[in-house]
Every structure is written in structure tokens, then in C-alpha cells.
Amino acid sequence: MELREIIKKLIISYPIIYGCTMMAAFVCCLVFHPDAVFGIDYLGKALVFALAGDLPSLVFCSKRELSHREWMVRQIIHLLMLEGVLLLFGWFLKYYETVAEGVFFFFIVLLVYIVVRILAFSEDFKDAKEINQVLAKRKNDKK
Amino acid sequence: MKISIEEIPRGEEEEIIIRCHEMNEEVMALLHKLKSSGEQLSGICGDEIYRLRLSDIYYFETVDQKSFLYCESRVYETKLKLYEFEELAAGTRFFRASKSTVINAGKISHIKPSLSGRFEAFMDNGEKLLVSRSYVPSLKKVLGL
């Protein structure tokens, strides 16, 4: 993807990541700190955190078309960068304080990542099915 | 739209007359389609120049500043730039599939989503091409979806 395309994608995904951050914080607090009270600064921190989660997508930036293998490698790098950046920011912003909470946080991020990929794939699968139906119909009409 | 076909004697020249209220987008697209259906392109293979019908081309690709036309079993080099080919093939079954390729949807056997977030298009001649997700709407459009 070209830089312009990536930036467009980053802008679109930013509010989605922000919403997911809020949901993840809600689940974490529900499990570890059910009595937690947040100040207004929390909203600002979440904005920074969402930006940190958005920027690793720049790893997909390329002037030429990536091969399947290159794409998969970048996908793995993206996941590792995302985990690293989010764990780091999560620590600084005190989203988690103990190792156990950190591990839980790591798996929450991984789970969300996998769910998003599965949802995207199933959406693509639906598109492919719809397209294949038309292609098959056209081939049959030609015969 | 009403379609009338009139059979004429062998000696007379064949013609298509479009009777419309105005030259709107639909009519222009139809006109373009009619004009380009018999369109021929020049393709270089070895030392020879061939005339190729647009409908025989499977896909167009640019590699290292060079452009190529891929037919069923042969590849021809062309002087056309990607945007020039796109303009030439506008209104036909060709669609932009990635940064460097324009594919003939009429030659696609089927497509499959890939885990890399893109689609693989399997051509009638067995070749496999990549379709970026951002260009899938273009494919849907040429298929009338």
C-alpha cells in the first residue's frame, strides 16, 4: 500500500481503535479493578494509546505490490510491533500494574487481533462467493 | 431500452444506430463498449509485432517501467502506459486489480480470499493473480454487482 492509502486507513481505523481501547479497559477493570474511578485525563490517555495502536500499520507501506510472503512477514511484524507498543504504552499509562495483568493484557490484544482478522476474512469470503456466483453464471450463459 | 435488429443484404455496410433522448453517461458507456469491443492493440513478441484483440487479453501488467499484455499462452510487450490501457479498456470487462495490473474479468475462472487480506484471481488459463481489497469494488462494478 502507498503512504497516502495507509494514512487514509489510519484515519479510518483511529476511532475504531479508540472504541476498542475503551472496551478493553472496561473488561480489564471489570476483572482486576471493579471499583476503579477514572479522572478526565483518562480520555486523553486513551487518545494517545489509540494512536500508538494505529501507527504500527505503517509497516505495510510499500511503493510496489507486496508478494504473499512479504505480506505475511509484515503481518507478523505488525502484530509484534502492536503488542510491544501497546504493552509499553499500557505500562506507562498504568493500564496494568502486575505481570499477571500484563499477560492478560497481551492476550486481550492478541484475541482482538485474531477476531478482527477472522471477521475481515469472513467478509472477504462473502464477497468472493457473490463474485464467483456471477462469474459462474456468465460462463454458463456463454456455453 | 428497446433493441431492434435489422438484417441487411450482404453487399451493404453493417452499422449501429443509437437513438436516444440525450447523450447521457449510460449511452456514452454503451458507445465506448461498442467501439472498444473490436479494438486492436499492438504487442511485441520477439522481433515481431502482432495485432491483438482487447477481448483476447487476459491482463495488463507493468514490471520495472515496462508494460506487458498477457494472452492465453503468450506475453507481448506494449508501449502503452497503465493509465493509457485503462482509458482504452474503459467500459469493457477490464478492471484495475492492483498498482500494476489491469485484469479482464471475462477471463477469470474464480476468485478466492487470501489470509493476506487480498484476493487471488484464478484465470481461465490457470494463472493466479492478486487483487487488492481496495480494487474489489471495481471488479464488482464490471460484473454488475
| Residue spans per domain, chain B | 25-142
Residue A119 lies in a domain: no
Q: Does A125 touch chain B (CB under 8 A)?
A: yes
Q: Kindly identify which residue of chain B lies nearest to residue A64, measuring between CA atoms.
A: B99
pLDDT of residue A42: 84
Write down the pTM of the prediction: 0.70
The answer to whether the beta carbons of residues B62 and B82 sit under 8 Å apart is: yes
DSSP A37: -
User: Which tens digits make up the pLDDT trace of B70-102?
Assistant: 999 899 999 999 999 998 888 888 999 988 899
Q: Does B106 touch chain A (CB under 8 A)?
A: yes
The domain covering B25-142 belongs, at the CATH homologous superfamily level, to: LytTr DNA-binding domain (2.40.50.1020)
The reply to whether residue B140 touches residue A127, judged by beta carbons under 8 angstroms, is yes
Q: Which residues of B touch A134 (CB under 8 A)?
A: 143-145
The reply to whether residue A131 touches residue B133, judged by beta carbons under 8 angstroms, is no
pLDDT of residue B123: 94
Q: Work out the pLDDT band at B124, boundaries 50, 70, 90.
A: very high
pLDDT of residue A84: 93
pLDDT along chain A (143 residues), means of 10: 79 87 81 82 86 88 80 90 89 83 88 87 91 88 70
Residue A126 lies in a domain: no
Rounded to a whole number of angstroms, the distance from the CA of B110 to the nearest CA of chain A is: 6
The answer to whether the beta carbons of residues B54 and B92 sit under 8 Å apart is: yes
DSSP B107: G
pLDDT of residue B69: 94
Distance, in Å, from the CA atom of A106 to the CA atom of A83, rounded to the nearest integer, reads 7
User: Which tens digits make up the pLDDT trace of B35-62?
Assistant: 666 667 889 998 889 989 888 999 999 9
Supply the mean pLDDT for chain B.
87
The reply to whether residue A128 touches residue B112, judged by beta carbons under 8 angstroms, is yes
User: Residues of A numbered 82-101 whose beta carbons fall under 8 angstroms of chain B's beta carbons: which are they?
Assistant: none
Distance, in Å, from the CA atom of B113 to the CA atom of B119, rounded to the nearest integer, reads 4
Number of domains comprising chain A: 1
Task: Spell out the SS3 assignment of chain B.
Answer: CCCCCCCCCCCCCCCCCCCCCCCCHHHHHHHHHHHHHCCEEEEEECCEEEEEEHHHCCEEEEECCEEEEECCCCEEEECCCHHHHHHHCCCCCEEECCCCEEEEHHHEEEEEECCCCCEEEEECCCCEEEECHHHHHHHHHHCCC
Distance, in Å, from the CA atom of A82 to the CA atom of A59, rounded to the nearest integer, reads 11
Residue A136 lies in a domain: no
Residue A132 lies in a domain: no
pLDDT at B144 over 70: yes
* pLDDT above 90 coverage of chain B, percent: 41
Residue A122 lies in a domain: no
The ipTM estimated for the assembled molecules is 0.71
pLDDT of residue B7: 85
User: Residues of B numbered 42-81 whose beta carbons fall under 8 angstroms of chain A's beta carbons: which are they?
Assistant: none
Residue A141 lies in a domain: no
Domain holding A48, by residue range, is: 3-113
Q: Does A132 touch chain B (CB under 8 A)?
A: yes
User: Residues of A numbered 6-45 whose beta carbons fall under 8 angstroms of chain B's beta carbons: which are they?
Assistant: none
pLDDT of residue A32: 77
Q: Does A120 touch chain B (CB under 8 A)?
A: yes
